[in-house]
Structure 1
């Protein structure tokens, strides 16, 4: 018979597997020509390097810093 720790571990593994599956099967959009934040053109090299890019480098850096800050890291 499974105890509480075994059931919690199984649940954790199921959640992790589901999260990974969602990321792997996530639809990827075509790269944007203009940044969705500041409306500046996104260079062709960046659009080719990162499929589905929607922000210029500067706006992406700001977005990532804000995301890290709000996560509490």
Structure 2
């Protein structure tokens, strides 16, 4: 299908490039290097398997789960309800 100057797959190429850029940004924010042997929050030992699986690990599983749970709750309804959109 002709879409002016854009090629047939231009939209999909743009979507793919956007997703690829987002993945690169997310990977660049991951910690790297050797992890800690003990959790920096509770001083519990971090198993070697976790240190091997997660480069640069700084927290034990329990402390990481608690931190992830706190970060996941934003407290705002960003999507809104249909009623608020109709007003």
State TM-score, norm by structure 2: 0.52
- Which of 1 and 2 has greater Rg? 2
Where structure 2 has 5 or more consecutive residues not aligned to the other structure, the ranges are 1-16, 78-87
Return closer, same or farther for 1:72/1:43 CA change in 2, 3 Å cut-off: farther
Q: Which runs of 4+ in 1 moved over 6 A?
A: none
What RMSD over aligned residues (CA atoms) do the two structures have, in Å? 2.9
Where structure 1 has 5 or more consecutive residues not aligned to the other structure, the ranges are 1-12
* Structure 2 counterpart of 1:58: 62
CA distance in 1, matches of 2:75, 2:56: 24
Asked which structure has the greater RCO (Cα within 8 Å, sep 6+), the reply is 1
CA distance in 2, matches of 1:62, 1:34: 17
For the pair 1:24 / 2:1, whether they are aligned, the reply is: no
